[in-house]
């Protein structure tokens, strides 16, 4: 399979090898380059991208560090099995959410959030400083004020969740919050396709905030569980409608084709 060049915004301000890594990484996550498949030779790739073998090798090193490929003498560069990919790498996450399997990945991220964030809310209720609590409240009030303004609401909602993880005082949870930021944003953006769902989520966010403010770990954990469960249901509903819409459009296209035969 020939790796085609595609424009990239993510790496527009980065190195040439970074842009190439981005383009090949996208093709791997989309399934255009399947696990076990050997990439074209360095010569062919170099010609395709219009770069030197040195630049290309740097790009391959980037992908190898993310667990996507491995290079072997006499075999070449092969795409590794999916279970070896570093899915928490920010770039891999971003590529996955731009792939054909974005819906599957979005649901998987929601599942991970239900494991991590309730525990984070409980820790925040125990450890948050007055300044951190004020920051969480500030993001909530900004989200509430934004109402159905999609972009503003998404940004403040995201900051609300990240502020809670920051308030845990656990450096690993704080880092995880930043790592999954793009995935959280993707899930939230799915839900804003139906603005009424955003309005309904405000009381659920308020419940989490109030439990943290009162220093109630169990209450904060339970409130976050409920919030994420509702978010999961919203996402599943949106994806079902989206799939239904695609199916309806496909059926309509088939009918039109039959009518014109």
CATH number, domain with residue 37 = 1.10.10.10
State whether 66 and 114 are in the same domain. Answer: no
Residue whose C-alpha is closest to residue 192's, from 179, 201, 204, 182: 201
Residue 8 belongs to a domain: no
Structural domains in the chain (count): 2
State whether 138 and 232 are in the same domain. Answer: yes
Cα distances (angstroms) measured from residue 223 to each of 55, 69, 198, 208, 255: 50, 41, 17, 5, 48
Query: pLDDT value at position 256?
Result: 44
State whether 173 and 61 are in the same domain. Answer: no
Q: 139 pLDDT exceeds 90?
A: yes
- This prediction's pTM: 0.73
State whether 157 and 117 are in the same domain. Answer: yes
Q: What mean pLDDT, rounded, does the chain reach?
A: 83
CATH number, domain containing residue 239 = 1.20.120.530
Residue whose C-alpha is closest to residue 185's, from 77, 97, 76, 78: 97
Q: Report the first-to-last Cα separation within the chain, whole angstroms.
A: 35
Full domain range(s) for residue 125:
101-253
């Amino acid at each position: 399979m020939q790796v085609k060049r595609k424009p990239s915004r993510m790496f527009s301000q980065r190195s040439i090898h970074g842009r190439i890594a981005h383009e090949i990484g996208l093709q791997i996550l989309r399934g255009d380059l399947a696990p076990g498949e050997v990439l074209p030779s360095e010569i062919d790739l170099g010609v395709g991208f219009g770069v030197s073998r040195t630049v290309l090798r740097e790009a391959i090193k980037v992908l190898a560090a993310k667990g996507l490929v491995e290079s072997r003498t006499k075999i070449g560069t092969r795409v590794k099995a999916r279970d070896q990919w570093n899915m928490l790498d920010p770039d891999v996450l971003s590529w996955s959410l731009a792939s054909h399997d974005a819906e599957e990945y979005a649901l998987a991220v929601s599942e991970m959030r239900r494991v991590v964030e309730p525990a984070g809310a409980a820790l925040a209720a125990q450890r948050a400083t007055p300044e951190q609590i004020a920051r969480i409240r500030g993001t909530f009030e900004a989200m509430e004020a934004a109402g159905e303004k999609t972009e503003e609401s998404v940004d403040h909602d995201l900051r609300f969740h990240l502020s809670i993880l920051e308030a845990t005082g656990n450096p690993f949870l704080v880092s995880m919050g930043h790592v999954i930021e793009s995935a959280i944003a993707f899930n939230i953006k799915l839900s804003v396709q139906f603005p009424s769902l955003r309005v309904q989520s405000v009381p659920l966010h308020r419940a989490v905030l109030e439990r943290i403010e009162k220093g109630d770990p169990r209450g904060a954990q339970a409130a976050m569980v409920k919030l994420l469960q509702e978010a999961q249901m919203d996402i599943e509903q949106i994806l079902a409608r989206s799939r239904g819409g695609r199916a309806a459009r496909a059926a309509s296209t088939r009918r039109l084709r039959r009518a014109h035969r």
